[in-house]
Structure 1
Amino acid sequence: DYTLDGLPDLWVANYEKEAFALYRNDGEAQFLHISNDTGVTSIGSLFVGFGTVCADFDLDGDEDVFVVNGHVAYYSLNSPFRQKPLYLENRGGRFAQIQYDESSYLGQSHTGRGLALADFNDDGKLDLAVSNFSDPPAILRNTTQAEGNWIFVRLIGARSNRDAVGARLVLHTSSGDQARQVKGGGSYLSSGDLRVHWGIPEGVTVDSLTVYWPSGIQQEVKSLQLNATNLLEEPVSIGADLSSGNP
């Protein structure tokens, strides 16, 4: 949801000669190709994208994009076998490719394949786990100097599946709505932390959270704790208080 309108958008990592693509959800069951307008096209078409995730890495209230790349052919005429990962920072709806020093992992070329999100040290900033072809895996700790707050939500299903995979969550804040989903995958051969994460910039207040459970139940939660994991169980009784989030 890069536009903060509460609607999930689509991000596609592609093969060599096929540029990565971003599609905006217009709310009428259509997705509009807006790669040119958002700066995505400037990445070029030499990369072969594999694992990719969208998340608020810098806690500024919008989702950024991370992709690991690596070719499948050793002797491609157009792009190298080893390729650098890409971190695309969302800057008000346009994406900027962040450059890194060549001495760092992100400044070097790899044969990236799998990519998963997790907060390994529970500091509210999302870290990454990377698997590579013929290279060791890597754990990338998020060291961003972010001043914002954060929220984790962990859903426990009852009528829905236990992990609530397929649930949609919309966080209502003073700066707009932010949509997230509980996904069982979404990245190449990878699955990460099932907690749902939001960054909350300084000065932004959280109003409420709407949870659309896979079972069809809609739950409104009026109070969430900042800088903590909020555990929400799916209501099961007919008389459940859906406004408070308590079953």
Structure 2
Amino acid sequence: PRMREAVSMRGSRIGRVGWLVIVGTGLWGMGCRGHSGQQALSLAQEALPVVFTDATQEAGIRFLHNNGANGEKWLPETMGSGCVFFDYNNDGWPDLYLVNGRDWTEEELRRGGTKRRVPPKGRTTGKLFRNRGDGTFEDVTQQAGLDVEMFGMGCAAGDYDNDGDEDLYVTALGRNFLFRNNGDGTFTEVAKAMGVEDGGWSTSCAFLDYDRDGDLDLFVCHYVVWSPEGDIWCTLDGKHKSYCTPEKYTGEVSQLFRNDGHRFTRVTREAGLERTGEGKRAQGKSLGVAILDYNDDGWLDIAVANDTEPNYLFHNNGDGTFAEVGISAGIAYSETGVARGAMGIDAADYCRCGKPSLLIGNFSNQMLALYHNQSLKDMPFFVDKAPTSEVGRKSRLYLAFGVFFFDYDNDGWLDFFVANGHIEDDIHAVQNDVYHEQEPLVFRNLGTHRQGGREETVFRFVGEQLGEAMQRRIVGRGAAYADYDLDGDVDILITTNGGPAYLLRNEGGHRHRKLRLELRGHPLCSAIGAKVKVHLGREVQTYMVRSGSSYCSQSELPLTIGLDRAEKVDLLEVIWPDGRVETFPNLAADQRLRIVEGKGIVSQEGFPPPRGEIR
């Protein structure tokens, strides 16, 4: 069948010389700490009974994604859109914004040589839901000034003007939107005035202070060159049109905008982001971005997930420029030298190694990528652990979009979540082991074990143990987490293509001890890029406040840190984005802390009792 051929071709192969350079480094199979290890291993405790329940209706989340589908199978219709948790009104409770699409206009249909085949859904916009603090949300889209129609894709939140309120950036097909938070519950759209309206087809985005000048810059992923009249005819069965894979389209270059205070300046070319490490134009067909400091040098780097093109790792040179090192770092291709269909991405220190590794969601029949970071300061190097583990075996048939690391049971080891769903609604007709609707995947981190004389961090699939809501088959796209009910464990929001959003409440994860940290920097208010090191005896957990990640989505900025059974943190280190370090010894567990740069802990309180939990 043609679809099998299309899937096998969804990726390009690296040249033999380039691949031998990677293999020839001799670093395959290094353990977590980079040695065969006499050090005592760290194991996760026995799993707590945790269940995720569908709280969507109870919480008042009324949302239906409009993908514009009109029967023509135009490429944008299959991409879905994302979401972001952010506290827009500074009341301490995570609010929620959901990106939406729209119907194709009569002009667009005419340009595409077709007419309206299905009834229009009417005016559809993104939705802002205010967290009432009682487990429910209120739709405040209209009064907030966010009822703007667009063919939306992704979003990110950050305080770009350092006025103390989180602003919202939304990407879309055609142009993007920057909604400045007015501090009174309303937003003003200022993208054109601020120089970030952009154009083309934008997808995921992230705020970061790449030049460490104290304000947030903006990175925007771009996908492919597309228009109604330029949509390409593809087929699965030789008769009927299907959604084309991106190999058929020309890629667009992702963009970097530097914040100059009064407005943003496009600096993609001068920052070195227009070219790959091989000198080619960086038309990556990009769908996901993760901000990280992979070599712990204090400068934020950018990892980009590309669809059928090699993934990028932009190394920050510390002088306003980047060098693309994806191939030499080992994240550009699969272990067999194929550029996969990458969608979502996240970065985190899942092994307590002190450096962030990468999780990337890929097309079906390609499995997830779990790139373990073994870099030195002057040599980036990652090894994909998925092919030789349960991660690869379990994820092979799934088409993964939104991905993120999170500690769902608060045992102090970062687990990860994957939202799945195919792009073709009739894929099962040509591949009987692949489905359009797919259940999410959750892998629990079992800690560090010795395997074959090396230390390895082990993940085990646990989705079937987490309740019926985690086994529902959906056409998943965006995904984000937040502790929306402030009970001490993180909950999940999943978006679907052409369907509802789902809010999954974590019931049970709070039983382990934890800390919730809200950081406020000075001058960088959002504290995006700040690192936190949590010392528990000889063990150190490392976290970063980050924007972006997942697929077209962003999780909340405050950190929920699992402490397992520890009653206190021996030492909490905060490394602020400007490099300043503050330390806080002997912190009792089970607290919510607000820390302001230069002022220390300005508020601390316990967690409210959980509401309506299944015991």
TM-score (norm 2): 0.37
2:401 aligned partner: 50
Unaligned 5+ segments in structure 1 are none
Bigger CA drift: 107-116 or 216-225? 216-225
Aligned-partner residue type, residue 5 of structure 1: C
Aligned to 1:141, the other structure's residue is in SS state strand
- 2:555 counterpart (176, 182, 192): 192
Aligned-partner residue type, residue 446 of structure 2: R
C-alpha change, 1:213 and 1:38, in structure 2 (3 Å) is farther
Aligned to 2:480, the other structure's residue is in SS state strand
Distance 1:189 1:65 in 2: 17
1:107 partnered with 2:458: no
- 2:520 counterpart (156, 179, 189): 156
1:70 aligned partner: 421
Q: Give the alignment's Cα RMSD to 1 decimal.
A: 2.3
User: Is contact 1:147-1:202 (8 Å) kept?
Assistant: no
Compute the displacement of 1:125 (Å).
0.8
Compute the displacement of 1:139 (Å).
0.8
Per-residue deviation, residues 158-183 of structure 1 (Å, max 9, x unmatched): 13x21111112111112511111111
Aligned to 1:142, the other structure's residue is in SS state strand
1:117 aligned partner: 481
Distance 1:217 1:101 in 2: 43
Distance 2:536 2:404 in 1: 23
Distance 1:202 1:87 in 2: 22
Per-residue deviation, residues 167-213 of structure 1 (Å, max 9, x unmatched): 12111112511111111111111122210121111146411122222
Distance 1:12 1:198 in 2: 23
Aligned to 2:526, the other structure's residue is in SS state coil
Counterparts of residues 123-138 of structure 1 (less than 5 Å): 123-138=487-502
Counterparts of residues 1-247 of structure 1 (less than 5 Å): 1-28=349-376, 29-76=380-427, 77-78=430-431, 79-92=434-447, 93-100=457-464, 104-144=468-508, 147-159=511-523, 161-174=524-537, 176-203=539-566, 205-235=568-598
Aligned to 1:214, the other structure's residue is in SS state coil
Aligned-partner residue type, residue 150 of structure 1: K
Per-residue deviation, residues 51-99 of structure 1 (Å, max 9, x unmatched): 1111111111101101111111223333211111011111122111114
Distance 2:496 2:487 in 1: 26
User: Is contact 1:174-1:205 (8 Å) kept?
Assistant: no
User: Is contact 1:37-1:94 (8 Å) kept?
Assistant: no
**Paired positions, count:** 238
Aligned to 1:100, the other structure's residue is in SS state helix
Compute the displacement of 1:105 (Å).
2.0
Distance 1:103 1:173 in 2: 31
C-alpha change, 1:39 and 1:102, in structure 2 (3 Å) is closer
Distance 1:101 1:201 in 2: 20
Unaligned 5+ segments in structure 2 are 1-348, 448-456, 603-615
Distance 2:577 2:515 in 1: 22
Compute the displacement of 1:27 (Å).
4.5
Compute the displacement of 1:147 (Å).
3.5
User: Is contact 1:48-1:70 (8 Å) kept?
Assistant: yes
Compute the displacement of 1:144 (Å).
2.6
Distance 1:55 1:11 in 2: 12
User: Is contact 2:374-2:381 (8 Å) kept?
Assistant: yes
Aligned to 1:229, the other structure's residue is in SS state strand
Bigger CA drift: 2-11 or 112-121? 2-11
User: Is contact 1:10-1:23 (8 Å) kept?
Assistant: yes
User: Is contact 1:173-1:208 (8 Å) kept?
Assistant: yes
Distance 1:175 1:146 in 2: 24
User: Is contact 1:102-1:108 (8 Å) kept?
Assistant: no
Distance 1:162 1:203 in 2: 30
C-alpha change, 1:245 and 1:227, in structure 2 (3 Å) is closer
User: Is contact 1:111-1:132 (8 Å) kept?
Assistant: yes
Aligned to 2:570, the other structure's residue is in SS state strand
Aligned-partner residue type, residue 71 of structure 1: H
User: Is contact 2:514-2:560 (8 Å) kept?
Assistant: yes
User: Is contact 1:222-1:245 (8 Å) kept?
Assistant: no
Distance 2:570 2:521 in 1: 23
C-alpha change, 1:144 and 1:186, in structure 2 (3 Å) is same
Compute the displacement of 1:39 (Å).
2.6
Aligned to 1:121, the other structure's residue is in SS state coil
**Higher radius of gyration, 1 or 2:** 2
Aligned to 2:499, the other structure's residue is in SS state coil
C-alpha change, 1:101 and 1:37, in structure 2 (3 Å) is closer
Distance 1:150 1:219 in 2: 20
TM-score (norm 1): 0.87
User: Is contact 1:115-1:187 (8 Å) kept?
Assistant: yes
Distance 1:113 1:99 in 2: 18
User: Is contact 1:174-1:204 (8 Å) kept?
Assistant: no
Aligned-partner residue type, residue 151 of structure 1: L
Structure whose residues are more often helix by fraction = 2
